[in-house]
Structure 1
Amino acid sequence: MLLRIIINKDDIRKIQTDSEPETLDSFYSFLKCKLGLGGDFVVQFQDPDFGNEFCNLSSLSELPKEKATLKVILKKIPESPQTDSTLDTASLSSPSSSSMEDTPSCRRPWPDPFVIPKFSYDVELKLKRGNEAYQENGTLLITNKDTKSEILEKLAEEIYKYSAYPSREQYDIVAQSLVKKHPCLREPGSVKGWYCWKFSLKFKMGNYRNKLRVSGCSELTVNRRNSGPKQKLKKAKKSEVNFLPDVPEGKTQNVLEEERAAIVAEMKKKKVDWKKVTDMMASTFPLRRKEIVEEQPLVAEVKAKWPALFTDTQIEAEFARLTSTDLWDTFVSGLDQYMERFLQMFRAKSHCIQALSSLLSLLDDDNSVQKKRAVILRGLPHFLREDPSKLLKIAETTESEEQMAKGVSIGVLLIQEEEDVIDFSVVLEEQIILNGITDFPHAVAMLVGLLFALNIDYPKELRYTFEVIQKVLMNIGGEQCSARVHGLRNRLLCKTL
């Protein structure tokens, strides 16, 4: 069934269900995972009996068989002095949404543009007078130590809402935004007028992190240094928004451990209550991340403790918790956006890369969108001069699982019988982790989701391939690219080869 989902006027999505849900509860759980929603919500459908006006969905039999337009309404949360949000509908990416109220971490994606916060009344008054003087005669404001310290402290607090370890480019953005809003703070004799603010801000951010580390912030205490050689920082490497959240108020680690055990017990049942599992997976997110980031267990150990994480819906839900981004929709949208351009570049290179020519020939018999997506993903390693055998391995049904996965640390298995494709599987650490996948693009998307969920680094042999998928196709952390990937993105945006 093809669904058009209206979350709010600025967030309308199209999703496909592979099979019809059995119950209304399972349908709600499907929507919750697919859309990355939290909390209670109401689903309405267009009722043809009333001129396609929206009515509350009370039974799956009310839905059309092939296509339906639905509206998701998140139930209002009580107003409080701490929030100025009164919206009753919101998306996962909205920091004021009720979905964020149910999410253990409330960190948000990096904003564009970065909004400079309000400072204390006396500092705002000084800045107002300073900006007026600057507009009149170009006079710059001379800030004393206390004023500058307060400005930097407030900026550090605001930055931490988005990232504990901001990049060089993000420091640039904050410093530029500061002097743009308050031009009286420009530095005399500086070409740009904000370089010193940038460096002062980096030092202040380090001090602010240390203050939070002493207070027990999980994301920072994980990097507490003991005596001995300098340890490698455990921090977001793939632009995760919520890398290592704290345990939410009202819960303890023991309570979360009990919920984890309940998830394991539920997953052993013949008929799993997926709504219950989804809710418990969301609430135990901090415990799961703490184990994965701090202890760095083997994938098999994680699967034994968190079996629900290795299902497609929970992989997507975990990816949304980590990045505030829908895994499949973002992945396939990027593929489709650059599809024709990729194919043009592949054709231009096919005379010197035989493998690209062979892949393009597959489109002679099947020119569908699905086939084009698969060709692009299979061709990427060839085009980027990497080892394609590290991404996709072809196995026969006559082989055992151990034989199929042998030698594959990170990748996808194509299992075939003679020349017929039977199945796609995701392999990690020489073990089949997820199988029953119908096509190669879905398998790659699930692989990416698992690499995020399990905090696994991209393999060196495919570092550029995965960087293109993350930063170009999905635009996650796209402001920082290697030279090779930056060049590829520029070529994708050009109209001529």
Structure 2
Amino acid sequence: MLFRVILAPDDIRRLHLEILPARVEELMIILQQELGLEGLLVVQFEDPAFGNELCNLTNMSDLPEERATLKVFQKQTSEPSFDSQISDTSLDIASLPSALSGSSTPVCDRPWPDPFIVPKFSSDVELRLKHGNDAYHKDGSLLSDVSNDVPKELKSDILDKLAEDMYAFKTHPTSAECGLVAKSLIDKYPCLMERGSSCGWYGWKYRLVFKMGNFRQKLRIAGSLELSVNSKQPASGKKRKRQKARKSEVNFLHDFPQGKSSTTLEEERCALESEMKKI
């Protein structure tokens, strides 16, 4: 679908989306990624039912077919950023991935892989994908052919596992990096390919972008120090830049290892310093 996006009177851009997202929230993330926008957005569209007057976009089905004009601007408010406004129903702590229920929070301490290695999913997901691949190689059928989309529970399991593995490499992967992960997923499981997309994984890319925002919010609620200090808009409502790792740093602010605290780590540092002085 083709969009004419108005950011300012002197800043009007053209944006083409091969796959239209199902939710307005997902469209906002795509606009942030593609147009370099930040913060909470308000999206309006020219409504043909009212002589192309602007109306707030609340449902993707309200958009006209093939092409539409959008007006996008930042909402000046002290409300939390988009990451913290993800529906509470999707932030059930009991449903956190295994990385949160284990001994420690996953740590981003490895370089981004190229190509990205798709992780092994749960046994039932792997079995369904195996049958899907067999059918694809036999007659070219896709999992989305039956109900016009991949089953919701299967899609959720896949995205949860991918987000967990992506976080182990990078807290805030870029849109391009999410695209590489989506491409690797389709290369390994072509039965997940999307019809109507030139590359076959365009929708998966933006589902991953949205899922990573959801995943970071879960970790923030669970007590991740780095994600708490790097929230786009703190509780005070004052905007601040995200604290990035410097050269030779892995993360800006690590969580303490299991059973450690600032006091115990300082004691270990002092002990090491004393030992070095003996040399």
TM-score by length of structure 2 reads 0.54
Q: Deviations over 1:193-222 (max 9, x none)?
A: 111101010110000001011111122121
Q: How does 1:33-44 map to 2 (within 5 A)?
A: none
In structure 1, runs of 5+ residues without a counterpart are: 1-103, 275-497
Instruction: Report the structure, 1 or 2, having the larger helix content.
Output: 1
Query: Which of the residues 108, 111, 120 maps onto 2:110?
Result: 108
The corresponding residue for 1:272 is: 277
Segments of structure 2 that go 5 or more residues without pairing to the other structure are 1-105, 145-149
Q: Equivalent residue of 1:158, what SS?
A: helix
Which residue is 1:130 aligned to?
132
1:81-480 alignment, distance < 5 Å: 107-142=109-144, 143-224=150-231, 225-236=234-245, 241-262=250-271, 266=274, 272-273=277-278
Percentage identity across paired residues of the two chains: 54
**1:73-84, aligned counterparts within 5 Å?**
none
CA distance 1:132–1:105, change in 2 (3 Å): closer
Deviation at 1:241, TM superposition (A): 3.9
- Report how far residue 259 of structure 1 moved: 3.3
Q: How far 1:145 moved relative to its partner?
A: 1.2
Give the Å deviation of 1:183: 0.5
Contact map agreement 2:226 2:253 (CA 8 A) in 1: yes
The superposition leaves residues 428-473 of structure 1 with CA deviations (integer Å, 9 ceiling, x where unpaired) of xxxxxxxxxxxxxxxxxxxxxxxxxxxxxxxxxxxxxxxxxxxxxx
Is the 1:235–1:243 contact (alpha carbons within 8 Å) kept by the matching residues of 2?
yes
Instruction: Provide closer, same or farther for how the CA distance between residues 155 and 227 of structure 1 changes in structure 2, counting only shifts above 3 A.
Output: same
Asked if the contact 2:175/2:209 (under 8 Å) is kept, the reply is: no
Distance in 2, Cα, partners of 1:203 & 1:106? 19
**Aligned in 2, Cα 1:106/1:162: closer, same or farther, shift over 3 Å?**
closer
Contact 2:129 2:191 in 1 (8 A): yes
Corresponding letter in the other structure for 1:252? S
Normalising by structure 1, what TM-score?
0.31
Q: Is the 8 A contact 1:109 1:241 kept in 2?
A: no
Distance 1:132 1:222 in 2: 46
Q: Which has the higher contact order (CA 8 A, sep 6+)?
A: 2
Name the stretch that deviates more: 186-195 or 214-223: 214-223
1:227-286 CA deviation, whole Å, 9 max, x = no partner?
32332112336695444322112322111233344566x49xxx8246xxxxxxxxxxxx
* Number of aligned residue pairs: 167
Distance of 1:218 and 1:234 partners within structure 2: 12
AA aligned opposite 1:245: H
Structure 1 residues 129 and 216: CA distance shift in structure 2, 3 A = same
The CA deviation at 1:154 is 0.5
The answer as to whether partners of 1:165 and 1:235 remain within 8 angstroms in 2 is no
Query: Do the aligned residues in 2 keep the contact of 1:152 with 1:204 (CA within 8 Å)?
Result: yes
Q: 2:193 touches 2:200 (CA, 8 Å); kept in 1? A: yes
Rounded Cα–Cα distance in structure 1 between residues aligned with 2:162 and 2:107: 20
AA partner of residue 214 (structure 1):
I
Q: State the alpha-carbon separation in 2 of the partners of residues 254 and 112 from structure 1.
A: 39
Residue of structure 2 equivalent to 1:92: none
Q: Distance in 2 between matches of 1:175 and 1:148?
A: 12
Cα 1:145–1:105 shift into 2, 3 Å = closer
| Alignment CA distance shift 1:129-1:105 (3 Å) | closer
| CA distance in 2 between partners of 1:263 and 1:204 (Å) | 42
